[in-house]
A = this chain, B = another copy of it.
Amino acid sequence: MTELGQNARRASRVIARATTAVKNAALLATVDAIEAASDRLVAANELDLQAGRDSGLDDAMLDRLALTPARLQTMIEGLRQVAALPDPVGVIRDMKFLPSGIQVGKMRVPLGVIGIIYESRPNVTVEAASLCLKSGNACILRGGSESIHSNRAIAECLRTGLAAVGLPDEVVQVVETTDRAAVGALITMPDYVDVIVPRGGKGLIERISKDARVPVIKHLDGICHVYVDDRADLDKAEAIAINAKTHRYGVCNAMETLLVHQAVAAEFLPRVAAIYAAKGVELRGCPLSCELLPQAVAATEEDWSTEYLAPILSVKVVADMDAAIEHINTYSSQHTDAMVSEDFSRARRFLAEVDSSSVMINASTRFADGFEYGLGAEIGISTDKIHARGPVGLDGLTSEKYVVFGDGHIRQ
């Protein structure tokens, strides 16, 4: 791993100064390589699938592992999209003259070497590599051992793409051992790795955060709330409450808890409960909600801090917006929380006082996403406050340095 790290550090200097045209050409050459190698990719993936079936992986795991023709196409589309994104590297902003006569501003620059640790989905290999490359970073990718054959075959396409434009292979390195010690090494080499982005289940991310000696951009839970205020337009509230919960269940920006102002609970709750019932969503309510909703079961304390990722919803009636904010700041995972209200002053306070990476007024939590926010792509959604918060696009994989222009200026 040390050698991989040293190679990455060396390659990071080359990719950091590669032009936008060269980086885009490498991405498009990778598209060609994937198209040319699609049979080989499918064959390699078949080895992983076979091994997975033999070792008793469940259907969901096998599904995530599979490189179907549709997924190959999505991979290719993704590469083209990243090539089309504006290059963040080198952007200079806010150059201004200071009283001393010097001119100071900031220039966006790559972070250096990024380590990505992920689970079985092999498409992450291409996605992560393309975002790192476009943002001028070298990367070391460590996928799940279940997808090792697929990842090796994908890595070869990536190397072909890099070679086509004369970039060194080591700009993208895939850890080809399934030895778990490799992860331990990768996250403890601050000399060679500038940041780790883990993608996967909470267990993986907690383990990595605990042991890392390098900064980690991480995403833990998505315990998202929608608060329906008594000054809400209840049609909007209904649309948002239904969309935030039922648009997709297994995603981090789905609502897990619905908070409703006591003054509208008797009207609003039965109305949405009927829709939830039709969609098969189980409701777990506070005592007041259970009174209003015979079909609800009593929520336990644990429910308020559970990310169901399933057709289950906690429901709580609150006295007012302050109680809603208090509940959110206590139980939210600081991912995404929304209020539905037409009240301007309350909106202003909700925005200021809810401490989450995305705070929304009159919109569904499902919008918390790099594509929906116009970032073009995302490497993940950060629930940290340091460096990158919320959906992380290309900018999140860069830093800014100061640039100073003078004309022989010295400090007095």
Contact = CB atoms under 8 A, between A and B. Distances in A.
A90 B355 CA distance: 12
A402 B352 contact: no
Interface in A247-294: 247
Contact of A386 (B107, B215, B355, B390): B215
Given A373-B402, A386-B195, A391-B402, A236 B408 contact: yes
A306 interface: no
Contacts of A391: 402
A17 B352 contact: yes
A372 B100 contact: yes
B364 A402 contact: no
B404 A367 contact: yes
B410 A366 contact: yes
B102 A372 contact: yes
Contacts of A351: 107, 403
A107 B404 CA distance: 27
A399 B334 CA distance: 13
Interface string A366-379: 11100011100000
A401 interface: yes
A361 B405 CA distance: 5
A94 B323 CA distance: 30
Given A353-B17, A360-B404, A404-B361, A247 B411 contact: yes
B16 A405 contact: no
A366 to B, nearest CB: 4
A407 B362 contact: yes
Contacts of A400: 389
Nearest to A213: B210
A409 B367 contact: yes
A13 interface: yes
Q: Which of A98, A100, A390, A399 has the most chain B CB atoms closer than 10 A to its own CB?
A: A399
Interface centre among A98, A210, A233 (most CB of B within 10 A): A98
Nearest to A329: B13
Contacts of A198: none
A109 interface: yes
Contacts of A367: 100, 102, 104, 404, 406, 409, 411
A138 interface: no
Contacts of A355: 13, 16, 109, 112, 401
A84 to B, nearest CB: 15
A30 interface: no
Interface in A343-399: 351-353, 355-364, 366-368, 372-374, 384-387, 389-391, 399
Interface string A99-136: 01010100101011000000000000000000000000
A406 B239 CA distance: 12
Contacts of A235: 408
A243 interface: yes
Given A102-B367, A104-B367, A361-B405, 13 more contacts: A96-B374, A104-B374, A247-B410, A338-B404, A340-B408, A351-B403, A358-B402, A363-B405, A363-B406, A385-B399, A389-B399, A389-B401, A390-B402
24 contacts: A13-B355, A102-B363, A109-B355, A112-B355, A215-B215, A236-B408, A243-B410, A244-B410, A247-B411, A355-B401, A359-B404, A360-B403, A360-B406, A361-B404, A361-B405, A362-B406, A363-B409, A366-B410, A367-B406, A368-B404, A373-B402, A385-B399, A386-B399, A387-B387
Interface of A: 13, 16-17, 90, 96, 98, 100, 102, 104, 107, 109, 111-112, 194-195, 210, 213, 215, 233, 235-236, 239-240, 242-244, 247, 329, 338, 340, 351-353, 355-364, 366-368, 372-374, 384-387, 389-391, 399-411
8 nearest A-B pairs in the assembled complex, by CB-CB distance: A363-B406, A236-B408, A243-B410, A366-B411, A360-B404, A387-B387, A385-B399, A358-B402
